[in-house]
Structure 1
């Protein structure tokens, strides 16, 4: 079972606001993410947004929680994909694909400011980490006693990539840096010895 995230009523004001916020974040960046812009994009009144979100920080938190829900689901889904040699490789690819396809959301999810303020976000990250840790601990290429440490180290590598991404405009890495980071991480994950 996955993390217990707040459910969204399909088509409801809350869901429409979060969908609009996600779209603005992805297409225009976090600087353009305001409650007014979200209300206009979602076709709802600003006061309706305040009914569901006390402020922009709470809305950002909910976006980050949705991101972890989606990342968790992607990690689990990739584990059964036949195109990967092992579940650890598949889970890492899910993590990196998510980072590459949703850079602004990925940066928001690992925001130091949000993480420090919201235990629910730290809990969501931990639940997502547990899905990754399970495949690392099942990988027999490493000594059993080292597997928990390897899981934490690889997750920290992913968080480091998130921090590097967030330091670039729109959270997008220059292609040459992205290629080197992902190639190096892939080498570490796929090593046979």
Structure 2
């Protein structure tokens, strides 16, 4: 038999996780404008009051989605670095970044939201932790002089943030195919020819 503390922690995780899962689905399928705490509660099959127990407001829920996004992106960057499919860790990390942007455009835009970044230090820290995983791959790349690797990592990350800003300027968060092709082809060239 479980103790009361065990049951409570499972319930907390369950309700919170269901709310975040529903919010993630709404964000991906309908966009942030259609996301309300009521819609999330209905989608998750929980009461609105339950959501307010775990999230003070919609902004806090969006923050938590963005934090989860950075954790997922960081894991993807690290996982891709060990994939034999790529010639080097820098290329693998960039592919992880761009794959995440392409497959989760609304979440990607949310993660790099200027409004959320400006308000929440935790989000800036999550981005920095994710950047460090990317920076490690760039600094391990011996195709460029060691003294330029750290600066190259920052510049390439800034390129990724710029792509996020461009994506968020489109209503559905997706780049038109011709724009996406040009951006990703140019970024790929820069990453694969660093000398």
Whether the TM-score (by the shorter chain) exceeds 0.5 is yes
Tell me the equivalent position of 2:98: 96
- 2 CA distance for matches of 1:167 and 1:127? 25
| Structure 1 vs Structure 2 CA RMSD | 1.2
Tell me the equivalent position of 2:193: 191
The verdict on how the C-alpha distance between 1:147 and 1:192 changes in structure 2, with shifts beyond 3 A counting, is closer
Which residues in structure 2 correspond to 1:40-51 (within 5 Å)?
A: 40-51=42-53
TM-score relative to the length of structure 1 = 0.94
Which consecutive residues of structure 2, in runs of 5 or more, have no partner in the other structure?
A: 1-8
Tell me the equivalent position of 2:4: none
Deviations 1:75-134 (A, max 9, x none): 000001111110000000000000000000000000000000000000000000000000
**Bigger-Rg structure (1/2):** 2
Deviations 1:167-193 (A, max 9, x none): 001100000000000000000000163
Tell me the equivalent position of 1:65: 67
Which consecutive residues of structure 1, in runs of 5 or more, have no partner in the other structure?
A: 1-7
Deviations 1:24-69 (A, max 9, x none): 0000111111000000000000000000000000000000000000
1:55 pairs with one of 54, 57, 61: 57
The verdict on how the C-alpha distance between 1:155 and 1:192 changes in structure 2, with shifts beyond 3 A counting, is closer
Matched, 1:135 2:137: yes
- 2 CA distance for matches of 1:126 and 1:21? 24
The Cα of 1:9 is off from its aligned counterpart by 5.6
Tell me the equivalent position of 2:128: 126
Question: How many residues end up aligned between the 2 structures?
Answer: 186
TM-score relative to the length of structure 2 = 0.93
